Amino acid sequence: MTLDLRVWQGDITTLPLDAIVNAANPSLLGGGGVDGAIHRAAGPELKLYCAGLGGCETGQAKLSPGFGLPSQYVIHTVGPVWHGGGQGEAEALASCYRQSLLLADAEGIVSLAFPAISCGVYGYPADQASKVAVAALRQAFEECHLSKQVWLVGFDEAQCRLWQQALAI
């Protein structure tokens, strides 16, 4: 049983893995940023399917097929909006990574990719978020039953550097 954490730069929608994780909004009906890119690449079937999931609370995760994506599944998780750090943002963000990894494990998913959840429109400082993410993944993996290959995706080089720094801790 191993947890293999890797950093990858680019568009998460192009990755042919068991699953990619979506930084969704609570409606699960699509939005901007990585959410918009995933819905565009998956096609309209994704929105129809997600409409039947009944939304998702912050820190929770739900599964859908990947439809037109090269990935088999999408794990939709809702990150916290950054309000300065005093409103449970770190706990909520850790819960996103934890619940997504545990959901993946329950579905037999081995390879999956995460974007930098909450680090775009939701305003979470990316250096702090990257550290929370890596710590939460390492901790949650203790409860997994299958090995995992996890791609930490940075859309740009700066985010990839932050992922590398977080992995070095």
List of residues contacting ligand ADP (CB under 6 A): 11-13, 23, 33-35, 37, 79, 115-122, 153, 155, 159
Query: Is 11 in the active site?
Result: no
Which one, 96 or 104, has the nearer CB to ligand ADP?
A: 96
Beta strands in 31-154 (DSSP E): 61-65, 73-78, 111-114, 148-154
Which one, 101 or 152, has the nearer CB to ligand ADP?
A: 152
Per the residue annotation, which of 11, 18, 35, 156 is the catalytic one? 35
Considering the complex, what minimum distance in angstroms separates the CB of residue 142 from ligand ADP? 26
Considering the complex, what minimum distance in angstroms separates the CB of residue 133 from ligand ADP? 11
For residues 121 and 124, give the distance between their C-alpha atoms in angstroms, rounded to a whole number: 8
Token output for 150: 């996890």
Which one, 60 or 144, has the nearer CB to ligand ADP?
A: 60
Considering the complex, what minimum distance in angstroms separates the CB of residue 6 from ligand ADP? 14
Q: Taking the alpha carbons of 6, 11, 17, 20 in that order, is the dihedral positive or negative?
A: positive
Position 121, amino acid: V
For residues 149 and 135, give the distance between their C-alpha atoms in angstroms, rounded to a whole number: 16
For residues 75 and 39, give the distance between their C-alpha atoms in angstroms, rounded to a whole number: 12
Catalytic residues: 35
